[in-house]
Structure 1
Amino acid sequence: MASHARHPEKGTLVTGQSLLDDVSLPAAVIFEPALANNIAWMQRFADDHGAQLAPHGKTTMTPALFRRQLDAGAWGITLATAVQCAVAFEHGATRLLMANQLVGTPNMAIVAGLIERGADYCCVVDSVANVEALNRFFGARGVAVQVLIELGVPGGRCGVRDESALAALADAVAAAPAVALCGIEGYEGLIGGEQAVERIRGYARQLVAAVRGLMDAGAFGGRKPVVTAAGSQWFDLIAEAFDQADLRECCTPVLRPGCYVVHDHRSYLDALAEVKARHPELEGNLQPALAVFAHVQSLPEPGLAVVAMGKRDISCDPDLPIPLQRHRPGEPAHPLRHCTTRKVMDQHTMLAIAADADLRIGDVVSFGASHPCLTFDKWRQVLRVDDELRVLEAMPTFF
């Protein structure tokens, strides 16, 4: 199986091969030391704050990484769609938190099949209409589906917007015998602006207050409810609100960051610096683990290098790819300090380079990206490598 998504017929990858000498490039690569560090770091963070960790699997859709996260102590895996849930379940993840509404009978049928096979599944709801549709389908199927009420924010994405809508939805779930309420869910990632930190802290307090209010009303029927939020940017602020001894005694707080597993070279690198500034006591760091390696294919004029990598290989959103290092077999990697990405096309990246830059046709350049989700989904597999760029594992993706 080849390294690149669009050329599965090119060669067979053998563990122990050299990335530079033996692998068809471009290739998406994950460095094992940084990967191991990141998995341990976030699990330790959750443990230290008395929370469970359910990493968002949509970031990578790489079951080999799900297994690493679960083996390190993750409580479950978060997904965004019914199909993603099916992939995770088929590869051994049995606790599935779908942080999205389940709509459409084909999607409900997928989930019902998973529940019948033993999946501990829950999704989110934010409307009476959705609850009624779930009750009709799952009631006819003879199984129950667990749901979390999603608490939204004005101008945000999904979720109920006020206490009256929250109460009405809880009443609708109580009246639906095939739907079981198991907690409160939220997403803080769309809260921004100059007062973002305080607004997110306020939102986290709302989540806690909502789950307490529903408990007082007996909405969970004596079950220990889940309260969950936290993407990869503001996880520390959500953890602050969840890190209360009395809350942990009566609820299961769950954090759901996803991008941390490989981190990135700009957006989340900057976000982590803000986390560390808010919490200087935190030890260690997340480390960028994902890169795309590609060949220099042309040096057509002074100050320009063209690399055989494009939008089909690496994310260009929210930032253009970041040149990291030049690689040549038998030589140490060389940082590319005076080199910037000028333009990215389907299969070509144009680099602005110094006139005297030591780049040759056939050299390999490694690139970092912002927001790893949109790099993973371009590949059928990613390669896990060691610091010497020896291939340790080819990890299939399932997008």
Structure 2
Amino acid sequence: MEILDWRFKAVPDRAWGKTAAEFLADRPALEDLGTPLLTLDAAALEHNLRTMADWCTAAGVDLAPHGKTTMAPALWQRQLDAGARGITLATLAQLRVARAFGVDRVHLANALLDPAGLRWLAAELDAAPAFSFTCWADSVRTVDLLREAYPGSRPLDVCVELGAQDGRTGARTLDEALAVARAVCAAPRLRLAGVSGYEGALKSTHAIETYLRTMVVLHDRLRADGLLEVPDAIVTAGGSAHFDTVVRELAPVRDSGTRVLLRSGAYLIHDDGYYRTVSPLPLRSAMHGWARVISRPEPSLALLDGGKRDFPYDEGLPEPQRVRGGGELTGARVTALNDQHTFLRDADVRVGDVVRLGLSHPCTAFDKWNLIPVVDDAHAPDPQVVDLVRTFF
């Protein structure tokens, strides 16, 4: 069992030399931890987990949440226990983390072309009959490289990836996608598993709907041509912003027995920024930043001891919410972040106060912390630490 020490900036020195269980047995409070700090809220995590699981069940779709959001195997396990069909990942390194923690169903939302990585994957598949893996291909060249480099005895499941103009990866036309699918079917150790894509890079609702309908057309062509005959064939899309649209538009493929697989990952953590404005579900932000006022050099300016090294900023600056143990910060705003400082303006705070910050974009919050405390209630005057979540970036 891992021992806590100086490597984990979230824990105080009194925890060094203890296991997480031993540290938690002392019933630490949030005020026992240093700043800057990222925390998770236990009640919000549970609410989000159940809300998404119930929604997917009601919609009749599967969920393989994107594990790259948290890279926290303990949270992945909670998602699997709540009914997720598998975990989605993006890179070979992430896949190796999943296998190290015994994740048996992985959907790689990317092409895997590294020859050494494919040799490792083949050995994993051959040694573990329960391990299920799917990756993507968006060109005949990709299929050729997979065919040449993959040495496994079990077939490698591949989804043909359809893209769209101004989107991310993916074949840009139906004819190109069909050529990819035929190449997969012709390769001796590859197997066509379905159709994949990502709608989140598109700029309008109309573009997203048109794209998803084209995915359905591609699926139907593959079925009609006898190319998609595997059990549990899938059509998969769905980031964390438009998954309701994905379910609505992809629904027709279910008539032929194909599964609709969502890959939404940010729902579990949600946020107080981008996803708060776009999520179709009533989720709660389960993450907060905490930083201490270390300077009041001007009447309207306070400097906090956390910055870009600690909190996300790519989808919006932190939102000042309240003083720990005190009141709400009405009218306060963050105007800039440096590496280790937050510029807080128009806030009624004193040097030494600890400010709770709402954050935007969980994907770029978690990668800054290798151990994240979970508190019972981030809104309480004196939150208590009830768990620690380990990440592996």
TM-score, length basis structure 1: 0.89
Letter in 1 for 2:375: V
1:211 maps to: 219
2:68 maps to: 58
Letter in 1 for 2:43: P
Q: Is the 8 A contact 1:20 1:364 kept in 2?
A: no
Q: Is the 8 A contact 2:11 2:33 kept in 1?
A: no
Q: Distance between the aligned counterparts of 1:205 and 1:49, measured in 2? A: 18
Shift of 1:362: 2.1
1:311 maps to: 308
Q: Is the 8 A contact 2:63 2:263 kept in 1?
A: yes
Matched, 1:127 2:134: no
Matched, 1:252 2:264: no
Shift of 1:8: 7.3
Shift of 1:129: 1.4
- Cα gap change, 1:296 to 1:164, in 2 (>3 Å): same
Q: Distance between the aligned counterparts of 2:8 and 2:164, measured in 1? A: 38
2:354 maps to: 364
What 5-or-longer segments of structure 2 have no aligned partner? none
Q: Distance between the aligned counterparts of 1:74 and 1:197, measured in 2? A: 27
2:84 maps to: 74
Shift of 1:346: 0.8
2:284 maps to: 287
Superposed CA offset, 1:17-52 (max 9, x none): 444331122221110111111111111111111100
2:295 maps to: 298
1:175 maps to: 186
Q: Distance between the aligned counterparts of 2:274 and 2:9, measured in 1? A: 28
User: Which of 276, 279, 285 is equivalent to 1:269?
Assistant: 276
User: Does the residue aligned with 2:278 lie in a helix, a strand or coil?
Assistant: helix
Q: Distance between the aligned counterparts of 1:312 and 1:262, measured in 2? A: 19
Identity %: 36
* Divergent runs of 4+, >4 A: 2-9
- Cα gap change, 1:3 to 1:229, in 2 (>3 Å): farther
Q: Distance between the aligned counterparts of 1:20 and 1:174, measured in 2? A: 56
User: Which of 313, 331, 335 is equivalent to 1:338?
Assistant: 331
Aligned residues: 377
2:346 maps to: 353
- Cα gap change, 1:319 to 1:137, in 2 (>3 Å): same
Superposed CA offset, 1:342-392 (max 9, x none): 2211111111024xx2x2222211112211111111110111110142111
Superposed CA offset, 1:280-331 (max 9, x none): xxxxx10111111121112222111111101000011121111121103xxx
User: Which of 146, 153, 160 is equivalent to 2:164?
Assistant: 153
- Cα gap change, 1:131 to 1:346, in 2 (>3 Å): same
TM-score, length basis structure 2: 0.91
- Cα gap change, 1:241 to 1:4, in 2 (>3 Å): farther
- CA RMSD between the two structures: 1.9
Q: Distance between the aligned counterparts of 1:373 and 1:342, measured in 2? A: 22
Q: Is the 8 A contact 1:3 1:382 kept in 2?
A: no
Shift of 1:6: 5.0
Superposed CA offset, 1:183-212 (max 9, x none): 0001000111xxx21221221111122112
Matched, 1:394 2:378: no
Letter in 2 for 1:159: G
Q: Is the 8 A contact 2:147 2:187 kept in 1?
A: yes
Letter in 1 for 2:224: D
Tell me which moved more, 109-118 or 52-61.
109-118
